[in-house]
Amino acid sequence: MKKIFSILFLLIATAFHFTACKPEVKKEENKVILKKSTAPFAITKANNLINFTAYKMTEKVAVGGQFKKVDVLSGGEGNSVKEAINNTEFSIPVSSLFTENTSRDYKIKKFFFGIMENTKLLSGKLLLTDDTKGVAQIKMNGITQEVPFTYTIVDKTFNMKATMDVTNWKASDALASLNKVCIDLHRGADGISKTWSEVALNITSTF
């Protein structure tokens, strides 16, 4: 008799165990699905190329690079290319910097951006003022400055060009830090090591 009761108890306990587990399985199935943009033009679905050109040596030798990631914080979509670009707020992780030279990438991230204030991200906003000009509000080193740019829209491709001087973001110390660690690499024919504060931007979004 005791054996029968023991078996019944085990069966009841097992049934209770599986019944109690059912709600947890249902919870795992109820995953949140993020809504994707249905706008005809969306930066998140475009091919975005964020290229920059810095300069070294007195001869002003160009050094190209890019940021391989951009996150849209607000806006970034519309019924036309212009509408999608205008008023877009964005952030660019410094960690996505790429110059095809791992040693150079490390030095720029550590000895330039790394000594700035709160500059793991570059953030900003794009404002189109007319059919060919606009202003980029860029935050770096805890400072927001406006950078005027020119742009074109051809078919479904937006291209903007601008030049920024990093000293406007009080980045002279960061520039000196980078030049110090690259002192021989930035030394020109005149024997002077120089890192220019000017940086050219060339950004393209193809929708």
Are 4 and 99 found together in one domain? Answer: no
- Tokens 């029968």, located at residue: 4
Are 85 and 4 found together in one domain? Answer: no
Domain count along the chain: 2
Q: Is the pLDDT of residue 103 over 70?
A: yes
- Alpha-carbon gap, residue 38 to 36, rounded angstroms: 6
- pLDDT tens digit string along 40-74? 999 999 999 999 999 999 999 999 999 999 999 99
Are 12 and 62 found together in one domain? Answer: no
* Encoded tokens for 169: 């973001």
Are 99 and 23 found together in one domain? Answer: no
Q: Is the pLDDT of residue 84 over 50?
A: yes
Are 19 and 109 found together in one domain? Answer: no
Please tell me whether residue 133 adopts helix, strand or coil conformation: strand
Are 92 and 66 found together in one domain? Answer: yes
Please report, for the domain that includes residue 105, its CATH number: 2.40.128.110
Residue 15 pLDDT: 46
Are 112 and 25 found together in one domain? Answer: no
* Encoded tokens for 111: 């000895």
- Alpha-carbon gap, residue 127 to 140, rounded angstroms: 18
* Inside any domain, residue 84: yes
Whole-angstrom distance between the N-terminal and C-terminal Cα of the chain?
77
Are 85 and 48 found together in one domain? Answer: yes
Mean pLDDT of the chain: 88
- Alpha-carbon gap, residue 137 to 145, rounded angstroms: 6
89-101 average pLDDT score? 98
DSSP string, 101-122: -HHHHHHHHHHTGGGSSS-SEE
Q: Is the pLDDT of residue 4 over 50?
A: no
Tell me the residue range of the domain where 50 lies. Answer: 41-206
- pLDDT tens digit string along 177-202? 999 999 999 999 999 999 999 999 99
Cα-to-chain-centroid distance, residue 85: 16
Q: Is the pLDDT of residue 8 over 70?
A: no
Identify the band that residue 38 occupies on the pLDDT scale cut at 50, 70 and 90. confident
Are 101 and 9 found together in one domain? Answer: no
* Inside any domain, residue 36: no
163-170 average pLDDT score? 98
Q: What percent of the chain stands above pLDDT 90?
A: 81
- Alpha-carbon gap, residue 173 to 98, rounded angstroms: 22
User: 136: Cβ–Cβ under 8 A, 6 or more apart, which residues?
Assistant: 124, 125, 126, 127, 146, 147, 148, 149, 160, 162
Are 155 and 177 found together in one domain? Answer: yes
Identify the band that residue 34 occupies on the pLDDT scale cut at 50, 70 and 90. very low
Radius of gyration over every alpha carbon of the chain, rounded to an integer in angstroms: 27
Q: Is the pLDDT of residue 93 over 80?
A: yes
87-113 average pLDDT score? 98
Residue 127 pLDDT: 98
User: 141: Cβ–Cβ under 8 A, 6 or more apart, which residues?
Assistant: 116, 117, 118, 119, 169, 170, 171, 174
Find residue 160's DSSP bridge partners: 151, 203
Residue 184 pLDDT: 97
Are 14 and 70 found together in one domain? Answer: no
